[in-house]
Amino acid sequence: MSALREQINNDLKEAMKAGQKCRLATLRLINAAIKDRDIEARGQGKEPLSEDELLQLFQKMIKQRQESAKIYAENGRAELAAQENEEIQHISGFMPKQMDEAETKAAIEGVVKELGAAGLKDMGRVMGELKARYAGKMDFGKANGVVKAVLS
């Protein structure tokens, strides 16, 4: 079992003992999402999720909750937005430190140079390589704009 999976299971046990209902519910959601993806991978004859794939899954879960919190806040449902934000904090605890803007730009420029990318037609290759190298560490929504600027 990977270190990340063990950490999630240990945190789940601690949350259960401490009676932290929101944290416990969030950790159960994380475990369910991991199991769903593992079952899907097994059906396709693949290995269980790797650490990088787990980080990508967590990023997706965070993004979904950010979108939900925004919608709830716009519609005057502050209590639901607060719950989504609390879940984001619990999930973010398993993510590595995010790269800042300068680190992101330097990483993008390095990958562009390494791949010899010349124009926007190479954007897919660059983004694919960035996702492979910096899963969970880089915000790819923001990186997308930086890649476009560098390749233009």
* % of the chain residues with pLDDT over 90: 43
Q: What single-letter DSSP state applies at residue 46?
A: P
Higher pLDDT, 79 or 3: 79
Question: 95 Cβ partners below 8 Å, 6+ apart?
Answer: 55, 58, 59, 62, 136
Digit-coded pLDDT (tens) for 14-43: 999 999 999 999 999 999 999 999 999 888
Say if CB 137 and CB 97 are below 8 A apart: yes
CATH tag, 101-151 = 1.10.10.410
Is the pLDDT at 131 greater than 90? The verdict is no
- Which sequence spans correspond to the domains of the chain? 3-92, 101-151
**Residue 142 identity (one-letter amino acid):** K
Q: What single-letter DSSP state applies at residue 48?
A: S
pTM over 0.75: no
Mean pLDDT of 105-115: 87
Q: Do the first three CATH levels of 3-92 and 101-151 match, i.e. the same topology?
A: no
Cα 113 to Cα 105: distance, rounded to the nearest angstrom: 12
Q: What single-letter DSSP state applies at residue 121?
A: G
Q: What single-letter DSSP state applies at residue 98?
A: P
Higher pLDDT, 13 or 99: 13
pLDDT at 69: 95
Digit-coded pLDDT (tens) for 37-82: 999 988 888 888 888 888 889 989 999 999 999 999 999 999 999 9
Cα 52 to Cα 14, 27, 69, distances in angstroms: 25, 18, 26
pLDDT at 113: 87
Kindly state the tokens that stand for 133.
């190298």
Is the CATH code 1.10.3720.10 the one for domain 3-92? no
Say if CB 51 and CB 94 are below 8 A apart: no
Is the pLDDT at 10 greater than 90? The verdict is yes
Is the pLDDT at 11 greater than 90? The verdict is yes
Three-class DSSP category at 100: coil
Mean pLDDT of 86-91: 94
pLDDT at 1: 64
Say if CB 62 and CB 56 are below 8 A apart: no
